[in-house]
Amino acid sequence: LDKLKPQLTQIASHLSSARKEVDQIDPSRYPEDFRGVLVREKITSAISVLDQAESLVTDAAPLLESAPYILGINSPRKYLVLFQNDAELRPTGGFITAYAILSVDKGKVSVVQSDDIYALDAKFTKKVPAPDPIKKYLPKVPYWNLRDQNLSPDFKASMDVFHANYLTTGSPKVDGIISVDTQVLVDLLKITGPIGVPGFGNYHANEDSRCKCPQVWYELELFADVEGPVVWDSVSGQIVVKPKNYGERKSFIGPMMYSVLANVMAQPKAKMGQLFTTVMSLFQGKHIQFYLLDSTAHTAVESFNLAGRVREFEGDYLFIADTNFAGAKTNAWVTYTADQKIEVTGDGSVIKTLSLTYKNPQPFFEDKATKLRLNGIFRDWLRVYVPKGSKLLEAKGFETGQATGEDLGKTVFEGFFTLTPLNTKVITLKYELPIKLKSPYKMLIQKQAGSKNFPYTLTLNDRKHPEIILDMDRELSLAY
């Protein structure tokens, strides 16, 4: 890194020149395969690697400058890793199911300890009254537990609350918090192939016919939930009901992490390009997020959009945040499509109609052998973040809790609805922007951490634009 940093400008210049040349290559002009070699796929992958490499060097200079601190080059670092289950979607990416403490010393990673999130909650003896959304939609939870303290879709805002309360548990002090969701595990196993976790079994990313989902995800759900949840007495703080495998659940995290890291680091050079693009995609999709206590290092991760922030933007803005308060893992199957119809008048005034179509194509799902129920009623607290000062003209589809408020410098339209398996629900919001916009129409659409790559369509003054798959934050500039 010390040798690399002084050369960043020169490297960026060379990468830019190379990218301009390579971007002129049209992969469709080449055969899909030639004598067993996947020609077109390799060309497409090479172009993608080069594009992302230039972005990494050009836009992430502050991150590279802070890398020695983050990697513990001069002094060891400790990080709290939160495992979020994106199949039970929460604002920062998923329900917090487990955690681990990692030590990073000169780039070498080791697991200090790992445990179930309920074990950490047992150490959190402070009785914080549950905020209004939990009182409304999780009425049997009177206190604000650590596992539910990721209510803000801004990762830093949520971790500011979580970290302050984490410190009261007597747990090891850390230099930052890193969140990962199950998509990280699935995508890495697509590269490594099947892995073994000693004492637990073998896992892979291929589809499991029992659930039409990745085998590793399904096995983890069976292992974690088959015997039922952990139930705590709200007064004494003691466990009153626990699954038979409760002790094994926490012992599984460390070995799984070790097996994944060992297999990833052991990949041959031929797979480094695929590994690089996969990790970059996970970063961009907010399946990995960082919260660092050092202000300089945190500013660096923010500069590369790795901190899960709700961003400021001069123009139109949209952020759809779903919160699954059902307990079931319905987000493994629930999808939505977002359709925006935008009308801009001669003076630049803007009226928008946003339609969100939610679908659950999977029937009520129960594992035959274990009777574990995974798919059921989707209970969603929906928040739609739009430019501050936007005026709601009409709303349809909410069952309860419809309100307009402000959060994170945005106006928020919110409400609650349910969706049963094999059914569809449409939420429609018509509103007026507080700003006047001229051509080109500029808009930022932010992706919720942990969410799938959902399709967005946009019609601007009766002109329909190409569909967008929201796999990362997207800035649009549309002429009309």
pLDDT tens for 33-44 read 898 888 887 887
**pTM, to two decimals:** 0.86
Strand 176-181 relative to strand 454-460, pairing: unpaired
Mean pLDDT of 398-411: 97
The DSSP secondary-structure symbol of 5 reads G
- The per-residue pLDDT for range 101-144, each reduced to its tens digit, is 999 999 888 888 888 898 899 999 999 999 999 999 988 899 99
Which stretch of DSSP H or E encloses residue 44? helix 39-59
Please say if the pLDDT value at position 61 is more than 80.
Answer: no
Q: Tell me the Ramachandran region of residue 326: left when phi exceeds 0, alpha when psi lies from -120 to 50, beta otherwise.
A: alpha
Out of 46-60, 181-195, 241-255, give the one with best mean pLDDT: 181-195
Residue that the structure tokens 């951490």 belong to: 449
| CA–CA separation, 467 and 480 (whole Å) | 17
Which stretch of DSSP H or E encloses residue 251? helix 246-265
pLDDT for residue 244: 55
Mean pLDDT of 243-262: 72
- The per-residue pLDDT for range 161-190, each reduced to its tens digit, is 999 999 999 999 999 999 999 999 999 999
Determine whether 258 is exposed, middle or buried from the number of CB atoms within 10 Å of its CB (0-12, 13-18, 19+): middle
Quote the mean pLDDT of the chain: 89
Query: Who has greater pLDDT, 220 or 382?
Result: 382
- The per-residue pLDDT for range 81-102, each reduced to its tens digit, is 999 999 999 999 999 999 999 9
Mean pLDDT of 133-161: 95
Mean pLDDT of 444-469: 95
The DSSP secondary-structure symbol of 89 reads -
139-146 long-range contacts, CB within 8 A, separation 24+: 142/234, 143/234, 145/121, 146/96, 146/117, 146/120, 146/121
pLDDT for residue 11: 82
Please say if the pLDDT value at position 247 is more than 70.
Answer: no
> What's the gap between Cα 449 and its chain centre?
3
Helices 8-22 and 39-59 sit at what angle, rounded to 10 degrees? 150
Percent of the chain residues topping a pLDDT of 90: 60
Mean pLDDT of 257-275: 88
Query: Who has greater pLDDT, 146 or 112?
Result: 146
Which of 365, 375, 450, 381 shows the shortest CA–CA distance to 418? Answer: 381
Q: Using CA atoms in the order 260, 261, 265, 271, what is the torsion angle rounded to 10 degrees?
A: 40
Please say if the pLDDT value at position 352 is more than 60.
Answer: yes
pLDDT for residue 166: 97
Token reading at 387: 């430019």
pLDDT for residue 226: 47
3-state per-residue secondary structure call for 391-412: EEEEEECCCEEEEEEEECCEEE
* Torsion sign (Cα): 21, 23, 28, 32: positive
Contact yes or no for 225/332 (Cβ under 8 A): no
pLDDT for residue 84: 95
Please say if the pLDDT value at position 303 is more than 60.
Answer: yes
Q: Which of 58-67, 190-199, 224-233 has the lowest mean pLDDT?
A: 224-233
Helices 272-284 and 39-59 sit at what angle, rounded to 10 degrees? 60
Tell me the one-letter amino acid at 57: V
pLDDT for residue 249: 59
pLDDT for residue 236: 62
The DSSP secondary-structure symbol of 203 reads E
pLDDT for residue 245: 56
Tell me the one-letter amino acid at 150: N
